[in-house]
């Protein structure tokens, strides 16, 4: 299940992508399939171990080309362990809402993105998120450790991107069918196992079926409902070219992590 649209992102084979807050790697794997070199960055060490493991399996199965590079890094979004202009493309999916100083994180994304490069930042859309917060205090911080710390207002993310020096140029909403699932989870208690509620369990099975099979009926429903009920808002922005820069893709060498400091890099 992808949140960012790779066509809008403009990712091309041979480019280098940072998947910030990669989790268990859904966006990283798709980038690798498209021939891009990937740095998957997260605070969770177990997540990074799984990304490396699945990446190796994909390579062994011939899903990705032999020359496609994958590296992982354990890093803080407000203090990224990468040199300036290291990446051609960046995805930060469902990360900013967890960070108290999201403006510092956006400034770091600007710094490590090459001039002319594009990033996609995804956040919970305002209406579905407000309903989740209203249904359960345990869905978000401070009751939920590491949970969402804010609900973004209309245009707030775009404004913060502009303040960081980025140029937003497109946006859309996705995952409309997921909003009711999270409302149900919040209604029964977001920390309860899915199997504890028959209704939540049935809806979870529906979503799994939809992700695996992608039938026409649910795809049509998603397209129709996404502008209103889409769980995630995706905003795309470009780092403007500065005087004297060409915007050429970065050229990865043996390592695609160009670290400012050795701290936080996972082999």
> Does pLDDT of 245 surpass 90?
no
170-192 tens-digit pLDDT: 999 999 999 999 999 999 999 99
In this prediction the pTM is 0.92
> Does pLDDT of 262 surpass 90?
no
Higher-pLDDT residue of 266, 19: 19
266 band by pLDDT with thresholds 50, 70 and 90: very low
Q: Where in the chain is the domain with CATH 3.40.50.150?
A: 6-125+140-174+233-266
Assign a CATH topology to domain 6-125+140-174+233-266. Answer: Rossmann fold (3.40.50)
What distance in Å separates the CA atoms of residue 47 and residue 111, rounded to the nearest whole number? 25
pLDDT at 244: 53
Higher-pLDDT residue of 107, 248: 107
> Does pLDDT of 265 surpass 50?
no
Task: Judge whether 106 and 161 are in contact, CB under 8 Å.
Answer: yes
> Does pLDDT of 159 surpass 80?
yes
47 band by pLDDT with thresholds 50, 70 and 90: very high
3-36 tens-digit pLDDT: 999 999 999 999 999 999 999 999 999 999 999 9
72-120 tens-digit pLDDT: 999 999 999 999 999 999 999 999 999 999 999 999 999 999 999 999 9
């Amino acid at each position: 299940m992808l949140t960012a649209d790779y066509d809008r992102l403009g990712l091309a084979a041979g480019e280098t992508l940072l998947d910030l807050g990669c989790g268990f790697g859904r966006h990283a794997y798709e980038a690798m399939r498209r021939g891009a070199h990937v740095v998957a960055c997260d605070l969770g060490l177990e997540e990074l171990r799984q990304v490396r493991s699945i990446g190796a399996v994909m390579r062994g199965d011939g899903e990705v080309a032999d020359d496609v590079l994958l590296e992982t890094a354990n890093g803080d979004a407000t203090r990224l362990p990468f040199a300036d202009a290291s990446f051609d493309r960046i995805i930060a999916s469902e990360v900013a809402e967890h960070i108290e100083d999201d403006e510092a994180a956006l400034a770091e994304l600007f710094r490590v993105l090459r001039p002319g490069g594009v990033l996609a930042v995804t956040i919970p859309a305002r209406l579905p998120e407000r309903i989740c917060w209203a249904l359960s205090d345990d869905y978000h911080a401070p009751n939920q450790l590491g949970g969402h710390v804010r609900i973004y207002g209309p245009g707030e993310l775009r404004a913060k991107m502009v303040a960081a020096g980025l140029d937003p140029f497109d946006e859309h909403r996705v995952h409309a069918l997921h909003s009711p699932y999270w409302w149900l989870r919040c209604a029964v208690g977001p920390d309860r196992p899915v199997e504890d509620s028959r209704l939540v369990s049935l809806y979870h099975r529906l979503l799994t079926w939809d992700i695996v099979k992608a039938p026409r009926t649910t795809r049509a429903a998603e397209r129709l409902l996404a502008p209103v009920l889409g769980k995630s808002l995706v905003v795309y922005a470009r780092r403007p070219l500065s005087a004297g820069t060409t915007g050429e893709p970065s050229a990865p060498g043996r390592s695609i992590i160009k670290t400012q400091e050795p701290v936080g890099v996972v082999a």
